[in-house]
Amino acid sequence: MNKAFRAKRTRAKIHGTADRPRLSVHFSNQHITAQIIDDDKKATLAYATTVGAKMTGNKTEKAAKIGAEIAKKAKTAKVSKVVFDRGAKLYAGRMSALADAARKEGLEF
96: in domain: yes
Q: What are the tens digits of pLDDT across the range 11-36?
A: 778 888 888 999 999 999 999 999 99
Q: What are the tens digits of pLDDT across the range 58-93?
A: 999 999 999 999 999 999 999 999 999 888 788 899
68: in domain: yes
Task: State pTM to two decimals.
Answer: 0.86
Q: Is the pLDDT of residue 57 over 70?
A: yes
109: in domain: no
20: in domain: yes
State how many domains the chain has.
1
- 1-38: buried (b, 16+ CB within 10 Å) or exposed (e) per residue? eeeeeeeeeebeebebeeebbbbbbebeeebbbbbbbb
63: in domain: yes
Report the pLDDT value the prediction gives residue 12, as an integer from 0 to 100.
79
Report the pLDDT value the prediction gives residue 42, as an integer from 0 to 100.
92
The CATH number linked to 8 is: 3.30.420.100
Domain range for 86 is 3-104
39: in domain: yes
